[in-house]
Amino acid sequence: MNRNHISEQEVSMLLNDVLERYGYDFTEYAHASINRRVNHLFQLDRFPSFAEFRYRIIADAGYALRFVEEITVNVTEMFRDPQFYYMLRQQVLPVLATYPLIRIWHAGCSTGEEVYSFAILLKEANLLHKSVIYATDINTSVLEKGRTGIFPLSQMQQYSRNYMEAGGLHDFSSYYTANYEYAKFRQDLGEKIIFSPHNLVTDGSFNEFQLIICRNVLIYFNKTLQDKVLRLFGDSLEPLGFLALGSKESLNFTSVSGQFRQVDSKEKIWRKHHL
């Protein structure tokens, strides 16, 4: 009955293989979640033994890519935590509005639902035309989905509720056209979004931003990697730029906490000090 067929040591071996052969570094991810996902994949793909699983990953680059894509979490939704989006609307957008060009980095964007959510906020604040959103993820196939702007229609009822709770100004359905079981989001929303691969573990900064959004990504990293990525974010923000995290993520007790001040006591939005 125990579903952990692959031990933590064996998982470490696989992560080392993937690092050495393919350059993807998961060795500083928190173990519990990775272990669970590796075991899940092992059973899903019905490998008879650990040795065969390992051999396939080493020998078959295509399968190694599947491994990378399956052990990273790609669950997301539009306007997740509506209060967070409400706070972005109230506290952050008025500041962004003062810039002639707004540069935003959405790191770990997965299939892009939250990126489109933020594009809608910008649209409603009449700021989207002067914004660029860089939406990045380690996983290239989720980025491909994000680029299409097509999401399952079955989710729209929930997303519409979230949108209303986030202070949405219009009829949510005006942002997409329904086609069979899919909702395709309006082209003008996607025009300012650049989907591009970026690996937070190995890649550096590529611009300076006024807002970095990275939600439910840091929870998968160990403390060392969290600190490293937060330093990357700190270095990639303009003075007085904003950093927005997931609802259970925090800058408290991290190496960068001294550089930031939390904007609101509840929502996880910080602002970089002027230095």
Partner 1 sequence: MAMDTASRVVLIGGSAGGLQAILTLLPGLSPRLNAAVIIVLHRQSSADSVLAELLAVKTSLPVREAEEKEALLPGAIYIAPGDYHLLVETDHTLSLDYSEKVNFSRPSIDVTFSSAVGVFGAKTMAVLLSGANGDGVEGLGDVHEAGGITIVQDPDTAVVDFMPRHAIQAVPVDHVLVAADMASFINNFAGLMVG
Contact positions vs partner 1 (CB under 8 A)? 1-4, 8, 30-33, 36-37, 73, 75, 216, 219-220, 223, 246, 248-250
- 164 token code pair: 């209303």
> For residue 8, how many other CB atoms are within 10 A of its CB?
12
156/179 Cα distance (integer angstroms): 12
Q: Nearest distance from residue 33's CB to partner 1, in Å?
A: 5
Q: Nearest distance from residue 77's CB to partner 1, in Å?
A: 10
DSSP 221: B
Nearer to partner 1, 4 or 179 (CB): 4
Q: Give the dihedral sign, CA 61/194/108/41.
A: negative
Question: How many CA atoms lie less than 13 Å away from 110 in the CB half-sphere?
Answer: 16
- Give the H/E segment covering residue 34: helix 31-44
3/79 Cα distance (integer angstroms): 34
Q: Nearest distance from residue 31's CB to partner 1, in Å?
A: 6
Nearer to partner 1, 192 or 249 (CB): 249
Q: Nearest distance from residue 117's CB to partner 1, in Å?
A: 16
175/171 Cα distance (integer angstroms): 8
The residues, ordered by sequence, that sit 6+ positions from 205 with a Cβ below 8 Å of its Cβ are: 232, 235, 236
Nearer to partner 1, 4 or 202 (CB): 4
> For residue 252, how many other CB atoms are within 10 A of its CB?
8
Nearer to partner 1, 5 or 184 (CB): 5
Q: Nearest distance from residue 248's CB to partner 1, in Å?
A: 5
Nearer to partner 1, 1 or 275 (CB): 1
Q: Nearest distance from residue 186's CB to partner 1, in Å?
A: 27
Nearer to partner 1, 205 or 257 (CB): 257
